[in-house]
Amino acid sequence: MVIGSWGDFVFEVSGSIAKTFNELSQKSSGRWAEHETINTAPLSEFLGPGLDELEISIIFTAMLGVDPRKSYEDLRAAVRKGEYYPLILGGLPLSDNLWRFTEISGVSTVFGPRDGGIMWMELGVTAKEYN
């Protein structure tokens, strides 16, 4: 079952694979200017919406049909190339704008007993709307 996607990267869960996230936090903001005045408080002016930001925590495990290193490298390459795509969750885009993954970090804690390959990795992904 497909949960969502960002470009070619698909969040999915089935009997043979689990490539999903366990946390998503989203932040929205407005852009404001403050104009200094004499003998009164500054005047506030709304300039428009800001770009939404989000953070996703993803866990890749070989025991659930995912190659953690390849999945990390695929996302890392997209971040380093500056790629941006719609972020789809539950069949709907998360916003009207596209999304760029601005930062990715990975922590590996379980390694294969024979070859030392990565068996488990937790990723932190930071994303920002692209307008």
Triad 109, 56, 67: Cα angle to 5°: 45
Sequence-distant (6+) residues with CB within 8 A of 83 are 7, 100, 101
Give the E-state strand segments of 1-131 in sequence order: 2-6, 9-13, 18-27, 30-35, 43-49, 53-61, 84-85, 87-89, 92-93, 98-111, 118-130
Distance separating alpha carbons of residues 1 and 15, to the nearest angstrom? 9
DSSP 64: G
Q: Identify the H or E element spanning 68.
A: helix 68-81
% of the chain residues with pLDDT over 70:
100
**Taking the model in full, what pTM does it have?**
0.83
Strand partners, 34: 44
Tokens 């390849």 sit at which residue? 70
Mean pLDDT lowest among 17-26, 40-49, 90-99, 120-129: 17-26
Sequence-distant (6+) residues with CB within 8 A of 16 are 65
Average the pLDDT over 81-93 and give the result: 95
**In this structure, are residues 106 and 126 in contact, taking their beta carbons and an 8 Å threshold?**
no
Sequence-distant (6+) residues with CB within 8 A of 26 are 52, 53, 54, 94
Banded model confidence at residue 18, pLDDT cuts 50, 70, 90: confident
Decide if pLDDT at 113 tops 80.
no
